[in-house]
Amino acid sequence: MEKKQKDVVISIHSVHGYDQNDMEELDFTTDGVMSLEEDGCSLSYMESEVTGMPGTLTTFRVNPDGIVVDREGFVTSRMQFREGMKDSVMLATPYGTARLGIDTRKIRNNLDCRGGNLEVDYVVNMEHVVAMRNRFIIDVKEQGAI
């Protein structure tokens, strides 16, 4: 199957923190590319100073089995999200490498060829100690459809 690409606007709302009293929120909107594939789709965009990862290409690969997030550049990592699954990831930064655990709590996927939204709720841990609770919601709209 031939990949079909379209220019999109990607809006990300991220919530993260250690407990309910310590949650921080970040909203980020950027131009990106949505590629439709046989078993799902992918979203790609460049990170910026706002996210603390300038020069990093982030790609979300979404399929019925889950989501894979690849980052290449200033930060290099691969995170896999499958509801109820625990995974381990090596995070490489200019400051060193760390092994993190990812425990996916919930995935909600409403993406289709016109855009839509995606939500992932997960916990990050280091050495089996909860480091941070995270949730991101991504809204995708075709360029010009806003």
Residue 112: its pLDDT value, please? 85
How is 66-120 classified by DSSP, letter by letter?
A: EEEEEEESSSBEEEEE-TT-EEEEEEEETTEEEEEEEEEEEEEEEEETTEEEEEE
Mean pLDDT by 10 residues, the chain (146 residues): 82 86 88 90 90 90 93 88 88 75 93 91 80 92 77
Go through the chain and tell me how many residues it has. 146
The predicted pLDDT at position 121 comes to: 95
Q: Provide the token pair at 36.
A: 């439709």
Cα pseudo-dihedral 46, 58, 18, 105, rounded to 10: 140
Q: Domains plus CATH for the chain?
A: 4-142 (2.40.128.20)
Q: Judge whether 129 and 111 are in contact, CB under 8 Å.
A: no
95 conformational bin, left if phi > 0, alpha if psi -120 to 50, beta if neither: alpha
Q: What is the pTM of this model?
A: 0.84
Element (H, E) at 62: strand 57-63
Residue 133 pairs with which residues in a beta bridge? Answer: 17, 123
